[in-house]
Structure 1
Amino acid sequence: MPAQTQGLHHVTAIGGAPQRNIDFYITGLGLRLVKKTVNFDSPGTYHLYYGDDAGRPGSLMTFFPWPGVHQGRVGAGQSTTTAFSVPAGSLGWWKGHFADLGVDSVVSTQSSDEERLSLRDPDGLQLDLVASNVVDPRDPWDSASVPAEFAVRGQHSSVLTVRDAAGTARTLTEHLGLQLISETPDRQRFSAGPGGAGHIVDVVADPRAELGLTAGGTVHHIAFRVPDGATQALWRSQLVDQGYQVTEILDRQYFTSIYFREPGGVLFEIATDTPGFDIDEPLLELGRGLKLPPWLEPNREQIEHAVVPVTLPHENNPDLTESDDR
């Protein structure tokens, strides 16, 4: 039997000004910056990881923030909406919260089981907050700007837009182990593992959609969870046997990764749950310092001069007195 993902690991998008990105996702969305590092393939820019208190898989949203980046185009071959899980009955609070920040948002009801608040981040990335009548048991990050009773519980789902859904559906079911759980003429919903928030992928088929252009305000890739490196290596072998062009296993310091494109054009990653974000700084200090992998550490001075200085809101590390380390 092919390996089966446990659900979503993270979503990685491209943003603009790093400070604006930090302010929105910490103060606006109420997430915690759990790691401030750099793009290992282009170390002149940050790689910022947001999530719950420890950055657990399934809670993570990450960004490559390039100052002055050109605006991308949302379209076919992309993950076009990233949704976060929030408690039932909380969308009124969230709408008021975003209004106070000058962010427009719209409430829409897709079904009797699920209500959504749709908005865009400062770079135009499409985000949804999903309030479901199924309780999400995950503990939130209790920040100063978003009380725990309303806070994000983690990823809810990702929407993939493709011109032809057949190949994408086959990849999700036959090669990633998801199950088709609902279907309409233009949308299919797939679920991994136990199902529910953090395990859902929606596929929208639009044969007339313009191809997406990956740049500012778009998703670069979505990542699925795998428990460990041994399972990942097995999975890579299976995908190669099925004809996918899969990268070698890459060390991302906090997990290892493989990447490939599914037939609809969306870039997929399979990432391990381990070792996690506390391997190079204590839990209380997550996100404060600029962390580099060993192979980039000799270039620290050059990298520190290349990235834009940023300041973290105090709520990111509330038990510490200093919060502005680079």
Structure 2
Amino acid sequence: MPVATSGLHHVTAIGGDPQRNVDFYLRTLGLRLVKTTVNFDDPGTYHLYYGDECGRPGSLLTFFPWRGVPGGRRGAGQATTTAFSVPEGSIGWWKQHLEEAGVETSGVRTSDGEEALSFRDPDGLAISLVAHPQGDPRDPWDTPQVPAEHAIRGLYSVTLSVHSEDATAGMFTDGLGLRFTGRRENRLRFEAGDGGPGTIVDVEVNPGSPQGLVAGGTVHHVAWRVPDGATQRAWREELVGKGVEVTSILDRQYFRSIYFREPAGTLLEIATEDGGFTTDEPLLELGKELKLPPWLEPQREQIEAVLPRLHLPDENNPDVAANVAEREGASE
């Protein structure tokens, strides 16, 4: 019996201009910026975490935003769509809201009781909003632009594109402990734990699709959650025993991670649920200031010199606006 995940932890994508990224995800989608840090492997680049009030695992979409990054190519060996969960009956509100913000949307699609609305972020990342009859008990982040009754509850699912299903399906069932729950045309669905929002991966089989290229506007990796380090270590040993190439355990400050690829090429992560984003700043202050891990703190001056300044458009939090104004005044 393999070690099994209870669901998604986060999805990490590559974006372009960091300010444009912040504006879209805070103002247009109504998420909270729960951590402003850097890519630990490339500290001259931000790592921005968006989620619910405290950045619970399963609510998180994160970005490495690079100005001028070349665009990627969606295709096989990639996570090609990231879906968020929204309340039943909210899709009409979202369609109007996005179109008023200048975002082109798809028509509303209905399947098996789910309503879905698709669009792309400013860098071309494919996103869907899914409303579903089973409901979602997770608490939203409430903003003036996106009121709580319509707000995103967290991740709903990810879609992976592959040329052939067998090896990837085997990895999900035998390597991640997911359950195969159905097929519709060329799409297979797998779910973790008890199923439902935040536990789903859809595998889309397209033998003739191009191979994906990870760059701007594409997903870098998909992370699944595990409760603690002991479970993660056991899982790593199990994967290695099956011949999977797995990284060592890496300290990501707010969780610990291991990485490996599923057979089609998508980079997967197993991240611990312990830790959290309040380890280095209080809940009410999340995301306001650049946070660095202890091993990068001695380089703060050099890192801040190369990072573009971010202006946080969090109009429902006067403290954030005052903080930005204070910094701007001090620099004049």
TM-score, normalised on structure 2?
0.96
Structure 2: gaps of 5 or more residues: none
Read off the aligned partner of 1:114 and give its amino acid letter: E
Alignment of 1:21-32 (within 5 A): 21-32=21-32
Q: 1:221: Cα distance to partner?
A: 0.4
Decide whether the 8 Å contact of 2:154 with 2:198 is kept in 1: yes
Q: Percent identity?
A: 63
Decide whether the 8 Å contact of 2:79 with 2:159 is kept in 1: yes
Using a 3 Å threshold, how does the CA distance of structure 1 residues 109 and 314 change in structure 2: closer, same or farther?
Answer: closer
Read off the aligned partner of 1:298 and give its amino acid letter: P
The 1-side partners of 2:102 and 2:320 are apart by: 29
Read off the aligned partner of 1:255 and give its amino acid letter: F
Alignment of 1:28-67 (within 5 A): 28-67=28-67
Q: 1:318: Cα distance to partner?
A: 4.8
The 2-side partners of 1:118 and 1:55 are apart by: 24
Read off the aligned partner of 1:216 and give its amino acid letter: G
Structure 1: gaps of 5 or more residues: none
Show the counterpart of 2:261: 261
Read off the aligned partner of 2:295 and give its amino acid letter: W
Moved over 3 A (4+): 315-321
Read off the aligned partner of 2:255 and give its amino acid letter: F
Alignment of 1:238-277 (within 5 A): 238-277=238-277
Alignment of 1:10-159 (within 5 A): 10-159=10-159
Aligned residue pairs, count: 326
TM-score, normalised on structure 1?
0.98
The 2-side partners of 1:317 and 1:117 are apart by: 29
Show the counterpart of 1:280: 280
Q: 1:110: Cα distance to partner?
A: 3.6
Q: 1:30: Cα distance to partner?
A: 0.5
1:175 is the counterpart of 2:175: yes
Show the counterpart of 2:213: 213
The 1-side partners of 2:75 and 2:164 are apart by: 13
The 1-side partners of 2:300 and 2:192 are apart by: 40
1:199 is the counterpart of 2:220: no
Q: 1:74: Cα distance to partner?
A: 0.5
Read off the aligned partner of 1:294 and give its amino acid letter: P
Show the counterpart of 1:290: 290
Decide whether the 8 Å contact of 2:312 with 2:321 is kept in 1: no
The 2-side partners of 1:108 and 1:314 are apart by: 29
Structure 1, residues 161-182: CA drift from partner, whole Å, max 9, x if none? 0111111110111111110111
Q: 1:152: Cα distance to partner?
A: 0.1
Q: 1:109: Cα distance to partner?
A: 2.1
Q: 1:313: Cα distance to partner?
A: 1.3
The 1-side partners of 2:316 and 2:209 are apart by: 39
The 2-side partners of 1:223 and 1:243 are apart by: 20
Secondary structure, counterpart of 2:122 in structure 1: coil
Read off the aligned partner of 2:289 and give its amino acid letter: G
Q: 1:108: Cα distance to partner?
A: 2.8
Between 306-315 and 168-177, the greater mean CA deviation after superposition: 306-315
Structure 1, residues 260-308: CA drift from partner, whole Å, max 9, x if none? 0010111000000110000000100000000000000000000000111
Show the counterpart of 1:235: 235
Structure 1, residues 79-101: CA drift from partner, whole Å, max 9, x if none? 00000000011011111111111
Q: 1:323: Cα distance to partner?
A: 4.1
The 1-side partners of 2:110 and 2:90 are apart by: 16
